[in-house]
Amino acid sequence: ATVHQEWEISYQFKSPDCVRKLAVTINGQTPGPTIRATQGDTVVVRVKNSLLTENVAIHWHGIRQIGTPWADGTEGVTQCPILPGDTFTYTFVVDRPGTYMYHAHYGMQRSAGLNGLIVVAAARGGPDAEPFRYDGEHHVLLNDWWHKSTYEQATGLASVPLGWVGEPQSLLINGRGRFVNCSAAAAAGMTCNATLPECAAPVFAVVPGKTYRFRIASVTSLSALNFEIEGHEMTVVEADGHYVKPFVVKNLNIYSGETYSVLIKADQDPNRNYWLASNVVSREPGTPTGTAVLSYYGGRSSPRKAPPTTPPTGPAWNDTTYRFRQSVATVAHPAHVQPPPPRADRTILLLNTQNKIDGHIKWALNNVSFTLPHTPYLVAMKNGLLGAFDQRPPPETYAHQGYDIYAVQRNPNATVSDGLYRLQFGSVVDVVLQNANMLAANKSETHPWHLHGHDFWVLGYGIGRFDPAVHPAAYNLKDPILKNTVAVHPYGWTALRFKADNPGVWAFHCHIESHFFMGMGIVFEEGVERVAQLPKEITGCGMTKGGH
Ligand SMILES: O=C1O[C@H]([C@@H](O)CO)C(O)=C1O
């Protein structure tokens, strides 16, 4: 079947946390409409850009775009942006069931509100049918939210000295939050109205005794979150579109770009309401808990009534061990194991560091900070435009194997490059992401890395320095989970494996919007010669101006 949507992208005044702000919306809404499809469907989204002076591109996060690499929606990588007034139609197949998301992939536009969910049901009776049962389903899209415009944020990030975005003002659940200090906002010249229905806490209703699947996605710009449903344990059953060997948690750590499904049983006292709570972890929180309400049908509490308790505050923000354990516990469901190839043809070791270039603070991989070319790689490579980007391959590893990941690096200078990694088609690639200290002493942050065009096997995690002579022996080759986004914990490493078998050009980057903006990403190319003729709508910028 074909799922068809017509989208008009425009700026609107929105008050997701009761404070009025300009937001980039889809058909007037943020988040945008949920795309619901069944495995094997073709999704067709006709996007009209009605932003007056701003380009747009939309990424279908978690959809591999097999055979349609030009529909990945990554500005500078797979397409020229959609110009104001123009229309572009994204057409792609959703080949796997699961929970996914979409969001802008141009500049820092995602942070301006352009995001939503993609929910793909399993083909009935097919091999990917769910290995669990539930009576009903709820959707939770988590986000963080700033009152500053994304232009102010981006300008700050590119300035000397750095103007850091700081912690978000609010945490949103399904596009709703509550800024705690309306009078302070009003004093600062903003319009704040705590009684707007637009910022009323979302209500999730359940029938006593029933089991619910909560599909949870995080599209945050910065925050790692911990999500809890007060009084209800959660059984984790899906991660990034793959079935998980079920495990029970009190609350769920979720990084930007990740999705999970959890099952909860509505088995508590139906006569009161319960909090859904989203809390910042991994960075010292400066944002109040994001909340919503769980309410029982037939109970004595009115659905909108605030629960009688204070909202859960989550685990200690700096308890890395707690989050590390959840990462390690996330393995493939026994009936859905897809074993990885036993060995890799190539291993790329990426040292994640904060750097300085001409006084600008940047992020770099092996001391190379990424910048997007003006002609998208896919367009450049299909047209043989060698001058469109740096032809020198970026480094496979960092120069000094003795690098002290716990120290501030002595020479923080890095170079900028838009070179890419060319992978042999069909080869098996390991990537080891190595975290390190930042420019300030005793500081290392979590980075959620997202790969386009693929799911990868998560072979292992560690805290400390990765040792290529030791750690691969302990890789999980038995039942590793497949994911598209994975955390690299503070001072830690994460090893992943994928097969370079999807012709195209694919970004791989930290899903923190400001970090990618500051250079924290790389790009892979594989089998570009196998890519069919590009739709001409994705060309027309950079070296293809004038219709080359
Ligand atoms: O990129 C970042 O910059 C700040 C800080 O290092 C500089 O203020 C921070 O916490 C980041 O993640």
Asked if 3 and 36 count as a contact pair (C-beta separation under 8 A), the reply is yes
Asked if 3 and 42 count as a contact pair (C-beta separation under 8 A), the reply is yes
Strand ranges for 340-391 from DSSP E = 346-357, 360-365, 368-370
Give the CB-side neighbour count of residue 403, counting CA atoms within 13 A. Answer: 26
Q: Computed over its alpha carbons, how large is the radius of gyration of the chain?
A: 22
Q: Which residues pair with 259 in a beta bridge?
A: 217
- pLDDT score, position 349: 97
CA of 164 to the centre of ligand 1 (A): 6
pTM of the entire predicted model: 0.98
The span from the first CA to the last CA of the chain, in angstroms, equals: 35
My answer on whether omega of the bond before 161 falls inside 30° of 0, hence cis, is yes
Pocket test for ligand 1, best of 255, 357, 361, 437 (most atoms within 8 A of CB): 361
What order do you get walking across the sheet with 21-26 strand by strand?
21-26, 2-14, 42-49, 87-93
Taking only the tens of pLDDT, the chain with its 548 residues reads 999 999 999 999 999 999 999 999 999 999 999 999 999 999 999 999 999 999 999 999 999 999 999 999 999 999 999 999 999 999 999 999 999 999 999 999 999 999 999 999 999 889 999 999 999 999 999 999 999 999 999 999 999 999 999 999 999 999 999 998 999 999 999 999 999 999 999 999 999 999 999 999 999 999 999 999 999 999 999 999 999 999 999 999 999 999 999 999 999 999 999 999 999 999 999 999 999 999 999 999 999 999 999 999 999 999 999 999 999 999 999 999 999 999 999 999 999 999 999 999 999 999 999 999 999 999 999 999 989 999 999 999 997 778 999 999 988 999 999 999 999 999 999 999 999 999 999 999 999 999 999 999 999 999 999 999 999 999 999 999 999 999 999 999 999 999 999 999 999 999 999 999 999 999 999 999 999 999 999 999 999 987 54
- pLDDT score, position 226: 99
Give the CB-side neighbour count of residue 412, counting CA atoms within 13 A. Answer: 19
Pocket test for ligand 1, best of 157, 165, 354 (most atoms within 8 A of CB): 354
What order do you get walking across the sheet with 35-38 strand by strand?
35-38, 115-121, 98-104, 58-61
Q: At 329, which helix (H) or strand (E)?
A: helix 320-329
Give the CB-side neighbour count of residue 222, counting CA atoms within 13 A. Answer: 22
Q: Given the CA of residue 222, which atom of ligand 1 is nearest to it? A: 12
- pLDDT score, position 547: 54
Ligand 1 within 6 A of 164 CB?
Answer: yes
Q: Given the CA of residue 363, which atom of ligand 1 is nearest to it? A: 1
Ligand 1 within 6 A of 510 CB?
Answer: no
Which two tokens mark 315?
């685990």
State the DSSP code for 513: H
Ligand 1 within 6 A of 445 CB?
Answer: yes
CA of 168 to the centre of ligand 1 (A): 13
Ligand 1 within 6 A of 224 CB?
Answer: no
In sequence order, what DSSP letters do the residues of 150-217 get, joined into one string?
HHHHHHHHTSSS-----S-SEEEETTB---S-HHHHHHTT--B-TT-GGGSPPEEEE-TT-EEEEEEE
CA of 461 to the centre of ligand 1 (A): 24
ipTM associated with this complex? 0.98
- pLDDT score, position 548: 44
Reading phi first (left if > 0) and then psi (alpha if -120 to 50, else beta), residue 40 is in left
Pocket test for ligand 1, best of 108, 159, 164 (most atoms within 8 A of CB): 164
Which spans in 330-448 are helix H?
A: 377-382
Q: Which of 390, 386, 387, 377 is nearest to 538 (CA)?
A: 377
Which two tokens mark 233?
């344990």
Q: Look up tokens 């599209």; give the residue.
A: 219
Q: What is the C-alpha separation between 102 and 117, in angstroms, rounded?
A: 6
My answer on whether omega of the bond before 468 falls inside 30° of 0, hence cis, is no
Pocket test for ligand 1, best of 144, 157, 162 (most atoms within 8 A of CB): 162
CA of 445 to the centre of ligand 1 (A): 9
Q: What is the C-alpha separation between 255 and 217, in angstroms, rounded?
A: 9
Contacts of 237 (CB under 8 A, 6+ apart): 130, 131, 132, 213, 243, 244, 246, 261, 262, 263, 333
